[in-house]
Structure 1
Amino acid sequence: MAGGNWSPTDMPVLPGLYMNFVAAAGAAIQPGSRGVVVAPVKAHWGPVGEFVEIADEKSIKEKFSLDETGGATAYTTLFLALLGGPKKLLAYRLADSSAAAAKVTLKNTAETPADALVLTAKYPGERGNDFNVTVQASLVDATKKELRLYESTTLLRTFSIGDGTAAAAVAAINEDGDNKWIVAEKVADGTMADISGAALGGGKSGISSITNADYIAATEAFEGQEFHVLTLDGVTDPALRASITAWVKRVRSEGKGIIATLGGPTTDDKASDAVAKANARSAACNDEGIVNVGSGAVLGDKEYSSAQIAAWAAGLIAGQSISESTTYAVAPFDDVTRRWTRSEQEQAVRSGVFLLIHDGRQVKVLRGLNTLVALKEGQNSAWKKIRTIRVMDQINADLQRAAEDNYIGKVNNTAEGRLALIGACKDYMRTMAQSNVIEGAGYDVILDPAYYGSAPSRKPEPDQVFLQWNARLTDVMEQIFGTFYVQ
């Protein structure tokens, strides 16, 4: 869909709804609940270059495996993101050109045994090397054969292959809707020879040569997917962080309202100058669409870097309702890897660092901030809050969808048509007010006086409509001040 920002001196060409959010004196706009997290991961199993929905820890195991040796990141990244509570989590597996699926070739019972059946793991990766197969007479009916698939010594599936021919085996394996592990290909006719523990081999995960370019290439696929928060899988390379930041800035300017959560390595999190390092990361990003996690955390007997905790932050941001804030949100961790002092925490807030703290009882988010420090033209301090950006993104997405579905190319640009559009927009604002996202009084949608009225500065083209939105954001309590008089 076309959309994004617009400028009177450089009008867009594509049809679409273009929205500028500009701070009125003393006014702002508020946050909304988004929902979908996307996370690129590295794994020893699972589809490559596809979006895979992850609902729970069990589905991580089934779709990617829990093995994190050799640079795999799927389990930690997806587990932490789930802990944050997103409404939907999409994993996207990366792999380099060396990735290969494990396979084994089985022979028939001809006088001169020949290769008859090739079994190949469904996905590239080293997990397939743990598979092995046994072909033998059925334990129930000795006149029939069965093929049993094991992962090491664990039975995954038993396929009934009838008369034991290669063709019967192909049908039984490939037409089994519950088969998640192998595919079969007939090479020659004939009955399958009995065999025990024939191991699949040659599977490669394609992890070792993954580069920043693979992550950048993945963002091309992300642009065509509907999601709201992006997190990386614990990578901390500054060049990649800069590339992701530049990409987020571009797609946000084009109307795709996403937020990315990033972080740093454990060495930075626990360094004596950890504060300076975290602050420097935020300063390098300086954008409302980037959240920089500044602290690592401990869960059980395992420490996680701030780059890994960024996955939890992504789930938290995506999963909150439209009226919630991440400020003081309770985290599931036992401790942080470094406890920042009061003055350091103040520096974090001023520098746009998303910090986890331990308050003596529990771990929680200090303040729900993005990395925006130096305000751009038309922005005010509300733009520094994650909640505000989420709301603006939600409003923009809702109005974009409504405009494309019901107005653009469908309604005549007459006074009556414009009134209908304004009426629908006001109804939407009313629902936002009922949700306590904007204040219930004082919001309005009108034709922009700069383009309509007795003395417009510019006359719209016949296919253009210019609206002016006025609303005042609500906000959550983040600072409470009081004076106690003692008598």
Structure 2
Amino acid sequence: MAGGSWDPITDKVRPGVYINFVDAATETIRGGDTGSVALAVKSYSGTATEKTFYSLEGTDAISNAIELFGEGNIKPIQRALKGGAKEVLVYTMPTLIDTAAYDAMYGALDTRSFNVFAFGGEFADEEGSLKTWVQRNRQEGKHFMVVTGSTESIDQEPANGNARSGDLEDDYIVNLIVGGIEEGENISSANEAAYLAGIIAATPINKSITYKKLDLEDVNKRLTNAEIKTALEAGSLVLVHDGEQVVIERGITTSGSKIRKERARQAIQTTLQQNISKMFIGKIDNNVDGQKALISAVKAYFETLANSNVITSNFSVDLSQDFESKGDQVYLDCYVTEVDSMEEIYFSIFA
């Protein structure tokens, strides 16, 4: 019976391959155990220096944050941790925040791994390069979500927030247009973005954040039913007070796509890229046996995702019919369908 660590030379199609990808799939699905939020902050008065990364996690995260950034500047970090992020990766902006500073920040973030990014506070005119940065990374094979928001004054005019959603339309960007109330104080959506980023990072990819209860007293702007519908159609993420609690109306990106769906796609692409690189590239012959081993491993990974309701069970993995796999090149056609959550329930009651 095959088992243990996977040997790239022998037992190519036996359980060793399956075990490796089951482990990868399990790590992918959990979310909360691996959820990392990257924050850019501009206010710090402790030992932290500009243009530097600091990783905060574990029981000492808050005390370390106070030492690094000063007790009055750790709200974004606290909010990300409150949302459930395992790690908060903080990048310190320089005193002068201009185009060059944003470019330096984006370049630095390109070298780090994280699941969700948010600005730790209100940053002026940051969206100009944000969308370009997200799209460039996607083209280069790096996948993550971004959460952004606006100032308190803009939150009071949902049309302005919706216009911002249009400007930032993308499958990977979430635009929060309603802030919260904490301890009687109005908090802008830009400041609450870190909280939402933590929630997204901590949520397993087989779960939705729609109707998730938030630890807020109220929202800073209660929208009418018509305003909520308009916001959702614009791709805006809205917080509502349902009469008892504050909840996320619907977990969507600025493109209108579901966050659950996009995170599943991101996780699949990232996991396949990382694990195929480690296990197959340069290690397996490109012949019939090697191609079967590759297909078997990918199917095993998809099977685990299907068993956890990330994707449906009618997936397929086969050699491409359009491109010939020969030399050092292998082409696979993979078909998957993400599982959605119940978000609209209709009753017809006959009496």
Which runs of structure 1 show a deviation greater than 4 angstroms over 4 or more consecutive aligned residues?
none
Aligned to 1:468: 333
Aligned to 2:193: 310
CA shift, 1:32, in A, is: 7.5
| 1:449 partnered with 2:321 | yes
Aligned to 2:52: 50
Higher normalized helix content (fraction of residues): 2
SS state at 1:463 partner: coil
SS state at 2:237 partner: coil
Contact preservation (8 Å) 1:32, 1:391: no
| 1:221 partnered with 2:94 | no
Aligned to 1:80: 79
CA shift, 1:59, in A, is: 2.8
Q: Which letter does structure 2 place at the counterpart of 1:484?
A: I
The structure 2 residue matched to 1:435, chosen from 308, 318, 340, is 308
CA shift, 1:416, in A, is: 1.1
Aligned to 2:278: 405
The CA deviation string for residues 133-169 of structure 1, in whole angstroms up to 9 with x for no partner, is xxxxxxxxxxxxxxxxxxxxxxxxxxxxxxxxxxxxx
The structure 1 residue matched to 2:142, chosen from 238, 245, 256, is 256
Q: 1:31 to 1:479 in 2, by over 3 A?
A: farther
| 1:36 partnered with 2:36 | yes
Q: Which letter does structure 2 place at the counterpart of 1:36?
A: S
SS state at 2:223 partner: coil
Give the Cα–Cα distance (whole angstroms) in 2 for the partners of residues 31 and 40 of structure 1: 26
SS state at 1:210 partner: coil
Q: 1:285 to 1:387 in 2, by over 3 A?
A: same
Give the Cα–Cα distance (whole angstroms) in 1 for the partners of residues 182 and 62 of structure 2: 16
| 1:291 partnered with 2:291 | no
Aligned to 1:245: 131
Aligned to 2:296: 423
SS state at 1:39 partner: strand
Contact preservation (8 Å) 1:351, 1:371: yes
The structure 2 residue matched to 1:60, chosen from 61, 65, 89, is 65
Contact preservation (8 Å) 1:32, 1:394: no
Contact preservation (8 Å) 2:312, 2:339: yes
The CA deviation string for residues 299-349 of structure 1, in whole angstroms up to 9 with x for no partner, is 103221111111111111101112111111111110111100001111111
Contact preservation (8 Å) 1:259, 1:291: yes
What percentage of residue pairs aligned between the two structures are identical?
33
Give the Cα–Cα distance (whole angstroms) in 2 for the partners of residues 288 and 236 of structure 1: 22
Give the Cα–Cα distance (whole angstroms) in 1 for the partners of residues 273 and 283 of structure 2: 14
Per the normalisation by structure 1, the TM-score is 0.63
Q: Which letter does structure 2 place at the counterpart of 1:256?
A: K
CA shift, 1:63, in A, is: 2.3
Q: Which letter does structure 1 place at the counterpart of 2:38?
A: V
Contact preservation (8 Å) 1:291, 1:353: yes
Q: Which letter does structure 1 place at the counterpart of 2:120?
A: D
Contact preservation (8 Å) 2:235, 2:254: yes
Give the Cα–Cα distance (whole angstroms) in 2 for the partners of residues 222 and 253 of structure 1: 16
Number of residue pairs aligned between Structure 1 and Structure 2: 317
The CA deviation string for residues 273-293 of structure 1, in whole angstroms up to 9 with x for no partner, is x12101100100110111100
Give the Cα–Cα distance (whole angstroms) in 2 for the partners of residues 219 and 390 of structure 1: 21
Contact preservation (8 Å) 1:231, 1:314: yes
SS state at 2:213 partner: coil
Q: Which letter does structure 1 place at the counterpart of 2:45?
A: H
Q: Which letter does structure 1 place at the counterpart of 2:221?
A: R
Give the Cα–Cα distance (whole angstroms) in 1 for the partners of residues 131 and 100 of structure 2: 14
The structure 1 residue matched to 2:153, chosen from 246, 262, 267, is 267
The CA deviation string for residues 178-207 of structure 1, in whole angstroms up to 9 with x for no partner, is xxxxxxxxxxxxxxxxxxxxxxxxxxxxx3
Give the Cα–Cα distance (whole angstroms) in 2 for the partners of residues 236 and 344 of structure 1: 26
Q: CA RMSD in A?
A: 1.7
Q: Which letter does structure 2 place at the counterpart of 1:472?
A: T
Give the Cα–Cα distance (whole angstroms) in 1 for the partners of residues 333 and 29 of structure 2: 19
CA shift, 1:57, in A, is: 2.9
Give the Cα–Cα distance (whole angstroms) in 1 for the partners of residues 69 and 292 of structure 2: 52
Q: Which letter does structure 2 place at the counterpart of 1:87?
A: K
The structure 2 residue matched to 1:322, chosen from 199, 205, 212, is 205
CA shift, 1:229, in A, is: 0.7
CA shift, 1:223, in A, is: 0.6
Give the Cα–Cα distance (whole angstroms) in 1 for the partners of residues 30 and 267 of structure 2: 6
Per the normalisation by structure 2, the TM-score is 0.86
CA shift, 1:87, in A, is: 2.0
Q: 1:32 to 1:450 in 2, by over 3 A?
A: farther
The structure 1 residue matched to 2:264, chosen from 386, 391, 395, is 391
Contact preservation (8 Å) 1:269, 1:295: yes
Higher normalized strand content (fraction of residues): 1
Give the Cα–Cα distance (whole angstroms) in 1 for the partners of residues 122 and 127 of structure 2: 9
The CA deviation string for residues 253-277 of structure 1, in whole angstroms up to 9 with x for no partner, is 111001111111111112xxx1210
Aligned to 1:115: none
Q: Which letter does structure 1 place at the counterpart of 2:286?
A: N
Structure 1, unpaired ranges of 5+: 1-29, 68-73, 96-206, 374-383, 452-458
Give the Cα–Cα distance (whole angstroms) in 2 for the partners of residues 91 and 215 of structure 1: 14
The structure 2 residue matched to 1:337, chosen from 220, 238, 251, is 220
Q: 1:31 to 1:284 in 2, by over 3 A?
A: farther
CA shift, 1:402, in A, is: 1.2
SS state at 1:54 partner: strand
